[in-house]
Amino acid sequence: MPTWFECLTMTPYAIFFGENSSSEHLWCYHQKAPVSNAKNVRAHNELIFRKKTIAMRSAFFIFASFLFITTNSAAQNIPGAVTFHIYSPHTSFPDTGRAKGHLYDSVLYTVNEHYRDSTVLIIAPKNLDAKKKLDMIFWFHGWRNNVDTAAAFYELTKQFIASKRSAVLVLAETARNAPDSYGGKLENPGDFKALVADVLQGLKAQKLIPQNCASGHILLGGHSGAYRVMARIIKNGGMAIDETMLFDALYAETDIFMDWIKADAGHRFINLYTDHGGTEDETKAMEKMVDEAGINNFKVEETALVPAQLNAHPIIFIHSLKQHNDIVNQDNFRLMLENEPFLRKL
């Protein structure tokens, strides 16, 4: 159990939820000081004072609707960008589906290390222009990553800001640094809708959007193992999704993507795949489904792709010669954002 000093010196997030959501830190609120003799009176009074201080802090964060904002994002220090984190109870984890961690390839990925992080990284242009509606791009990372490493390695912040779109880029944590595609709570009905509300509240707290601003167009993007949480959000998230961008990520859930494409001719689906990323067979199977359903689509080699083709075709399959972990970089993400109909240019 933590001492009163450990309780007092925890971060605000740890004070309320517990460090890494650990139940032992929540014990701080219930600890009873021993007062069996006079020697303990002073210690008891000192402990009560500190417990009251902690209680006051926790009350403040309850009042803030469980949203905790941190603005130190050194890894995302890109000119023209405003970056900050919130912590939302509507991200993937913690979740009962990983209450005992996850065993993969004879390695146990524990709850404390990989399935308790409820971080949301939000990136906005400094000159964001959103009054009544805010367009949002949600990016989901693949295996063995987290929101900050993914944003840095794949240069997502840099590419997003360079696209000069009047929108925000949101990275909600899933399985942190683990080989796991399970989407946790974000697979549940309505949880994504609640996450969108939390993101809007975080932006309003930063005074980046007005209080009456609501969500506008929502786009999903992701790399590799992100396919599952993206598909489940499309199916169960409770929000209209306008576009899906898969970067070497079509491993499964194809029926969900097909149903979504058929549901609205205005839906855009862009699938980039490589020779060695493990997505080629599923991509070819989906191409056949789309053709047999009589849905207009466009197939192209990445080396022959021009921006006008992205604008002209809502369903696109792009074959890339790049390696699996290189398919997002070299401005591919920026290219997608600059050539679609849903995001306004700044």
The pLDDT tens digits for 222-250 are: 999 999 999 999 999 999 999 999 999 99
Place of tokens 């367009």: 135
d(CA 44, CA 38): 10
Q: How many CB atoms lie within 10 A of CB 210?
A: 12
Residue 229 phi/psi, 5-degree rounding, is: -65, -35
Nearest to 86 by CA among 64, 106, 55, 103: 64
Sign of CA dihedral 141, 146, 149, 151: positive
Output the CA angle 163-329-267, nearest 5 degrees: 60
C-alpha distances in angstroms, 3 versus 19, 20, 26, 57, 85? 14, 17, 12, 17, 28
Give the per-residue pLDDT at 330: 85
Q: Which residues of the chain have pLDDT under 70?
A: 1-76
Q: Left if phi > 0, otherwise alpha if psi is -120 to 50, otherwise beta: which for 207?
A: left
Give the per-residue pLDDT at 208: 97
Give the per-residue pLDDT at 270: 98
Interacting residues of 69 by C-beta distance below 8 A, sequence separation 6+: 84, 85, 86, 202, 205, 206
Give the per-residue pLDDT at 314: 96
